[in-house]
Amino acid sequence: MRTCLILLTTLFTALAAPAVDCDLLVYGGTSAGVMAAVQGKRMGKSVIIVCPDKHLGGLSSGGLGFTDTGNKAVIGGLAREFYHRVWQSYQAANAWKWQTRESYGNKGQGTPAIDGEQRTMWIFEPHVAERILEGYIKEHLIPVHRNEWLDRREGVEKQEGRIRSIRTLSGKRYTARVFIDATYEGDLMAASGVDYHVGREGQNVYGERWAGVQTGVLHHQHHFGVLKEKISPYLVPGDPTSGVLPRVSAEPPGTYGEGDRRIQAYCFRMCLTDHPENRVPFPQPDGYDPKQYELLLRIFNAGWRETFDKFDPIPNRKTDSNNHGPMSTDNIGYNYDYPEASYERRAEIIKEHETYQKGWLYFIANDPRIPAEVQEEMQRWGLAGDEFKDNGHWPHQIYVREARRLVGQYVMTENELLKKRPTPESVGMGSYTIDSHNTQRYITPEGYVQNEGDIGVGTAGPYEIAFGSLLPKKAQCQNLLVPVCVSSSHIAFGSIRMEPVFMILGQSAATAAALAIDAGLAVQDLPYPTLRLRLLQDHQVLDMPAPDLKPHPALPAGKLEGIVVDDSQAVLSGSWTQASAIGPFVANGYRHDGNRGDGKSTAKFQARLHKAGRYEVRFAYSAHDNRASSVAVTVQTATGQKRLLINQRTPPPVDKLFVSLGIFEFESGEATVIVSNERADGYVVIDAAQWLPIE
């Protein structure tokens, strides 16, 4: 009875307490949330961040330090300022405790000639990102109410189509003129009663080629088809009556192209180190069960040896370690109910993911059945002792790659990203590959195990993101913006969901909020020209002109003849890096594969030929001694395809730009040149493809 009275007294006291009031309330302490708050404050508004988080920055300070950028030229505004501050941080001598600056080199840094005084660095340690974001908060005197969890059932008060106030589980009440939901989950968005979606749309919903269940589609190296032998999913190989291995679903995968409620896999972006003085050995987690990794043993026994391919190096002998391979850190199939789950259930899901991933590390490092060369390499590594100190050196943020997605004023789809239709009213740009991780691990009709859901489709260059994708429908809420769980299909979100893009959209959302407050308008009624002008003044990049398909200034000026497709317009898969160090080249530069030679990087140059007939096909590259001497180039024609090997150490003979691939017969319609880095013995360079009609 006494306990009940205390609880009631506490509740009534909280309810009676005056509300905290501001112009702009940002719910969520992600990188988008911090940038939204900073922009609101710079525009003269009173701003509060209310968040369930203890640490600010979400994934940017939670282990994702090997930034997924795409085309860095489209990252402007506060996002670019953040990465400039990262660069500044690493100019200090005391920033290099476990490694010299010289031994790390210039990895992840921008080009001085391009960046000028705004030099950037895109690779960083978690604590560096968190310190910079906390510095923004201190610098702008922004109140942050941490460990405040939105009451998702009854905590959102709306009047006449506007959010009037929100209440957290502690009983605190907050009023504001405009609200921004900057969480990965979209909790405020959902609690406000606006439309949203969870899961994958079918191909028929938005007319998307890559939508829905993707059985038979194998893009990255995260599937079982890359192994030397097929893997049985049964406890006794080949015997279905023996039962199914852990981490394999016996449920039907669904029909190709159909929608479902499945969610792409989550993991933790671990920060590991091989420095003996900073290395914490991998602990055996509570609940560890080696039987959960029987499938991994079979993968190793089939010859898999790419465990460490995504231990991407960040400063001070650390890594940003990500999922790679058929059974890696992604906990496939164990997050389906996370987006809509209660806080308690989410905590259980996060704990299960932690146990799985820590167990994966411990298993490889300690189980005597692991191949010796793999185990010896894993034993070199451990958790970084100077990261995540208050959480056992484990990331405080799980990688929520996707949860809810708004269905708002405008829905971004693959059609906008692939330039099949224009995007209205840009508030920022993305450029990263359309990238979805696997959603399920299932049993094929032939009785083998397979992963499903992995997508890796290039976007044919940077694309605009519509203002309407940040906005709920006006009839549902007039003072809410959503820069993270944006209005997009699952496929489009696969590219939009990158941390720099979230920062960009956070700034744009706050800009719109401040201007709407000044004008006394619903956010949906804000005139776009007004918003665009302010975004440009604040150095946001809203569009990019089409590439000027002229040769490098070292050659005579003039447009190139025929049909030319630049590398910025190619459909890319794998890893490609922009460069312009060695000319001549077409337009503004070229791309290279980083001298990987692993067969994972391809570039598809697609031209639309309006007339059937004979065409000379040419390919452009900039030559150098470090280039590959046998680059695989495939020309697809009306009668089949022809594969050639190009020596990129030899300068192109045609105008110092192009090498002729031959004369071919084409039907009208799409013509394609595909370049691969398979078995390349140096840097593979892609610049442009050209089709010249032969009269």
Q: DSSP letter string over 136-151?
A: HHHHTT--EE-S--B-
Closest CA to 434 of 411, 452, 468, 460: 460
Q: Band of the pLDDT at 441, cuts 50, 70, 90?
A: very high
* Mean pLDDT score, 187-216: 97
- DSSP reduced 3-state for 130: helix
Write down the H helix ranges in 367-498: 372-379, 414-417, 490-496
The three-point CA angle 501-506-512 to 5° equals 125
* Mean pLDDT score, 431-437: 92
* Mean pLDDT score, 270-285: 98
Which pLDDT belongs to residue 218?
84
Q: How far apart are CA 258 and CA 203, in angstroms?
A: 6
Asked if residue 168 lies in contact with residue 149, where contact means CB atoms within 8 angstroms, the answer is yes
Q: Band of the pLDDT at 347, cuts 50, 70, 90?
A: very high
**What is the architecture, at CATH level 2, of domain 563-693?**
Sandwich (2.60)
CB neighbours (10 Å) of residue 458? 23
Q: Which residue has the higher pLDDT, 1 or 554?
A: 554
Backbone dihedral angles phi then psi of residue 546, each to the nearest 5 degrees: -60, 145
128-163 pLDDT, tens per residue?
999 999 999 999 999 999 999 999 999 999 999 999
The three-point CA angle 471-473-475 to 5° equals 135
Radius of gyration of the chain (CA): 26
Which residue has tokens 């208050």? 390
Tell me the one-letter amino acid at 166: I
Enter the pTM of the model.
Answer: 0.84
Tell me how far apart the 2 most distant CA atoms of the chain are, in Å.
95
Closest CA to 283 of 213, 212, 197, 363: 363
Residue 199 backbone zone (phi > 0: left; psi -120 to 50: alpha; other: beta): left
Q: How far apart are CA 275 and CA 272, in angstroms?
A: 9
75-89 pLDDT, tens per residue?
999 999 999 999 999
List Cα–Cα distances, 522 to 178, 472, 474, 518, in angstroms.
Answer: 9, 11, 8, 11
Backbone dihedral angles phi then psi of residue 316, each to the nearest 5 degrees: 70, 40
Q: Band of the pLDDT at 16, cuts 50, 70, 90?
A: low
Which pLDDT belongs to residue 556?
63
pLDDT of residue 68 exceeding 70: yes
**Which of 243-257, 267-281, 634-648 bottoms out in mean pLDDT, i.e. has the lowest?**
634-648
Q: How far apart are CA 220 and CA 650, in angstroms?
A: 31
* Mean pLDDT score, 346-359: 98
pLDDT of residue 204 exceeding 70: yes
* Mean pLDDT score, 424-436: 95
Write down the H helix ranges in 528-625: 528-537
Which pLDDT belongs to residue 86?
97
Which pLDDT belongs to residue 484?
98
* Mean pLDDT score, 541-570: 81
Percentage of the chain beyond pLDDT 90 is 81
Mean pLDDT in the chain?
A: 93
